[in-house]
Structure 1
Amino acid sequence: MNTLDLIGSAVSNTFRSKTRTILTILAIFVGAFTLTLTSGLGTGINAYIDDTVTSIGASDVMTVTKTPEGATGIAAAGPVEYDPDAIASAQPGPPGQTVVALTPDDLDALAEIDGVLDVQATRSISPDFIQAGENDKFVIGVGSLIAGQTVQLAAGTAPDDDVDELQLALPLSFVEPMGFEDEDAAIGETVTIAVTDAERTQHLVDATIVGIAEEGLASPTGASLIPNDALSDALFDAQNVGIPSDQVERFAQASVWFDPAATDDEITDLKDRLTDEGYTGTTVADQLGAFKTVIDGIVLVLNAFAIIALLAASFGIVNTLFMSVQERTREIGLMKAMGMGNGRVFSLFSIEAAFIGLLGSAIGVVIAMFAGTAISSALSGSLLADLPGLNLIAFDPVSIVVIIVVVMAIAFLAGTLPAARAARADPVDSLRYE
């Protein structure tokens, strides 16, 4: 019996006992279905994070802060000693978390560190409100983009840093509340931004809306407008009226540029050099890693349940093939008497097991893909409508193939025990079996 005949015989023998085989396939289906969905969940969310990476920052930029000596925030074991050089952190964290202010001297020191190509301080602007005409006033923040970053736009264009006109990109969620009919109607309109200086005098700055920014999981905008350099300068200057000149240039953090072609080891070395000088550097990859670690952990737990289901199904395969070996004892004896070797007999039953795994996994994968697509479509128009571009459950062809191969491998391994029993059967005893 050649290889093709062996495969054909194994496939035809699979359905000798249809009910038993179908029940085994259904058990495998449950595991493959679950594994495909959970894998698709991880693929979809991680793909969304990767797609919005430019909204977090450029890949060759590192956020640098100078931290006080000792623990702060959550890490603090008790009260933190007052530091006159500490200012509020620009990063999300517990109330009262502070960092030591970066000064022009710090910026110069950072620029001298080996591997640093450029340094730019991050300015903090806290406006009072934004208003369109005589409509309601709304609280809003001011975001910022560094070189290499982009903002996802629902309409219009990004603010132009090369013009003197005061421009901004308005968050999508502000369009209708501020009285605009839709995104396109807001483009070109003038809004007023209020900011209060150190002398408690409120300044009103007018700017033009040139773009509408979408809000996403990793968006730097959130409930913040994105200004061009001209608007940023105007707001910053107005906010700092009355502040002594030596207090104006104090920054919570700075952006440091390094070689875009730098390897992971070179980036790690740069972080070490920053640490030696009393600074802490965080790259975009570090920020993404925090997201992905959480997502991958959740998916891993869900995958564990799918694997348990597949292992349970493997016992069904063992039972199915053991029953098949017993029912076909005389047939096995006849095949051996006609010259079929032990290896061929073993392969016959092993192929049957792998074929059962193929059927169960293929059915599970196909149905999971249909279900996942339907679920993603439904959620994107309801619960996930505020996360444009998120395809919650996505399917990677390579992952699909890997799942099918893994399930077939599990089925093959489950079938080795009954296959080995069939291969060891004595032909004379098998022919006498009743």
Structure 2
Amino acid sequence: MKISDLVGSATANTFRSKTRTLLTILAIFIGAFTLTLTSGLGTGINAYIDDTVTAIGASDVMSVVKTPDADDGFGSADAGPAEYDPDTVSSGQDGPPGQQTVVALTPADLDTLADIDGVLDVQATRSISADYIQVGDGTRYVVDVGGLVAGQRTPLAAGSEPDNASSQSQLALPTSYVEPLGFADDAAAVGQTVSIAVTDAQRTQQVIEATIVGVAEETLATGGGVVPNDALTDALFDAQNTGVPAAEAQRYAQAAVWFDPAATDEQISALKDRLADAGYTGSTVADQLGAFRTVIDGIVWVLNAFAVIALLAASFGIVNTLFMSVQERTREIGLMKAMGMGSGKVFGLFSLEATFIGFLGSAIGAVLAVAAGTAISSALAGSFLADLPGLTLIAFEPVSIAAIIGLVMAIAFLAGTLPASRAARADPVDSLRYE
């Protein structure tokens, strides 16, 4: 019997017992469907993270903070309240007590950072706590004031990026503020004037006006705050620190450190080590978004584990299906061996049946998973995920789908080896006498 005849015979024999075979295929389908869908989820989100890192640029910059002492309780949610330290400043982030502050960087720290081997430039990051943003006499809305270091780009829905070389106060407005502030659309907001209020050290509220030059898309990296240019940052920072002694004003939560754009991963890691030796902690944009990737990968692995369990359960169905098939076809097996079919070909025949069952279940599961995932992504992109343009929640790669189908077929083949071995070892005389 030729290989083609063997494959044709195995395909035809697969549906001798249609109900039993369909139930086995259904079990495989569930596992393959889940595995394909969860794999697509991980692919989609990780691709979005990669695109975000690439889109905002500044791959040669890292954020640096002063490393707290190990015994001061900072950074540990289980350490209880942290002891008060007059050298700390607000981190600008929410969190448990003790994690809302960081050890302040001073001009002396900036000089120290500048002297570290591999550091090309240092710039302090000025934290601004705005009270509200307003258009004319309209409604006031709470707003965060962000900022991009040189080299970073703002993903825009309309307009242009704030110009740091301009002496005029400019900002990029998040898309989520366009409608509440009374603008018809993103384009209508460009060129309009807004007021941003800050409260200084004398508890006096000061209002700074700025021009909207762009509308920024909100991503994992850029968040939902307005992005000012240097002129607006200076104005807000000076207004906020009115009445504050100069020594106190020059205390920063973090700094931006530039390094060689051509630096390799090993060189960047070595720079982080040198920063750590000097008492500082550095992290790139990729590092900061890597936390999201770790969480997503963990969730995907857990979901994949359930899918693999379903496939293992389905493999027992394949074993049962083929064992019953071998028993029902005992006389046929004896006849084939009596006519000269070797044990290897008998083994191959039943192994091919198992593999074909695995192929059907995995192929159907993968195709339906792609259809379902595409539909879910499209629906969510227009509703819950509308504020994250460019995110395809569930994305599929042909190589991954082929790998999943291959994996399921391999599991099916292994599951079929036991009944196939039994058929291959069958004695033709005893098999022909079987009733």
Give the Cα separation in 2 of the matches to 1:263 and 1:335: 64
Give the Cα separation in 2 of the matches to 1:68 and 1:315: 55
- Give the CA deviation at 1:227: 0.8
Paired position in structure 2 for 1:52 = 52
Give the Cα separation in 2 of the matches to 1:253 and 1:3: 69
* 1:418 and 2:419 correspond: yes
Where does 1:109-188 land on structure 2 (aligned, <5 Å)?
A: 109-188=112-191
Give the Cα separation in 2 of the matches to 1:2 and 1:115: 67
Asked if structure 1 preserves the Cα contact closer than 8 Å seen for 2:82 and 2:97, the reply is: no
Counterpart of 2:115, as a letter, is: E
Paired position in structure 1 for 2:243 = 242
Asked if structure 2 preserves the Cα contact closer than 8 Å seen for 1:54 and 1:148, the reply is: no
* 1:94 and 2:113 correspond: no
Q: Relative to structure 2, which stretch is displaced further, 51-60 or 270-279?
A: 51-60
Report the CA distance shift for 1:106/1:55 in structure 2 as closer, same or farther (over 3 A): farther
Asked if structure 2 preserves the Cα contact closer than 8 Å seen for 1:55 and 1:220, the reply is: no
Report the CA distance shift for 1:18/1:429 in structure 2 as closer, same or farther (over 3 A): same
Asked if structure 2 preserves the Cα contact closer than 8 Å seen for 1:54 and 1:150, the reply is: no
- Give the CA deviation at 1:29: 0.8
Asked if structure 1 preserves the Cα contact closer than 8 Å seen for 2:60 and 2:259, the reply is: yes
Asked if structure 2 preserves the Cα contact closer than 8 Å seen for 1:44 and 1:394, the reply is: yes
- Give the CA deviation at 1:418: 0.5
- Give the CA deviation at 1:360: 0.6
Structure 1 runs (4+) greater than 4 angstroms displaced: 54-57
* 1:390 and 2:404 correspond: no
Q: Deviations over 1:16-36 (max 9, x none)?
A: 222221121111111111111
Q: Relative to structure 2, which stretch is displaced further, 100-109 or 263-272?
A: 263-272
Give the Cα separation in 1 of the matches to 2:298 and 2:4: 43
Paired position in structure 1 for 2:196 = 193
Where does 1:159-308 land on structure 2 (aligned, <5 Å)?
A: 159-216=162-219, 218-222=220-224, 224-308=225-309
Give the Cα separation in 2 of the matches to 1:338 and 1:150: 75
- Give the CA deviation at 1:262: 3.1
Asked if structure 2 preserves the Cα contact closer than 8 Å seen for 1:73 and 1:93, the reply is: no
Q: Deviations over 1:188-224 (max 9, x none)?
A: 11112222332334333221111111223x14241x2
- Give the CA deviation at 1:291: 0.8
Q: Which runs of 5+ in 2 are unaligned?
A: none
SS for the counterpart of 1:58 is coil
SS for the counterpart of 1:74 is coil
Asked if structure 1 preserves the Cα contact closer than 8 Å seen for 2:132 and 2:142, the reply is: yes
Give the Cα separation in 2 of the matches to 1:366 and 1:182: 39
Give the Cα separation in 2 of the matches to 1:196 and 1:326: 85
Paired position in structure 2 for 1:21 = 21
Asked if structure 2 preserves the Cα contact closer than 8 Å seen for 1:349 and 1:415, the reply is: yes
Give the Cα separation in 2 of the matches to 1:100 and 1:420: 69
Counterpart of 1:3, as a letter, is: I
How many residues get paired? 432
Where does 1:32-51 land on structure 2 (aligned, <5 Å)?
A: 32-51=32-51
Identity %: 74
Of 67, 83, 86, 2:85 maps to 83
SS for the counterpart of 1:402 is helix
Report the CA distance shift for 1:418/1:278 in structure 2 as closer, same or farther (over 3 A): same
Paired position in structure 2 for 1:338 = 339
TM-score, length of structure 1 as denominator length: 0.94
Q: Which runs of 5+ in 1 are unaligned?
A: none
Report the CA distance shift for 1:315/1:221 in structure 2 as closer, same or farther (over 3 A): closer
| CA-based RMSD | 2.0
Give the Cα separation in 2 of the matches to 1:107 and 1:233: 19
- Give the CA deviation at 1:170: 0.8
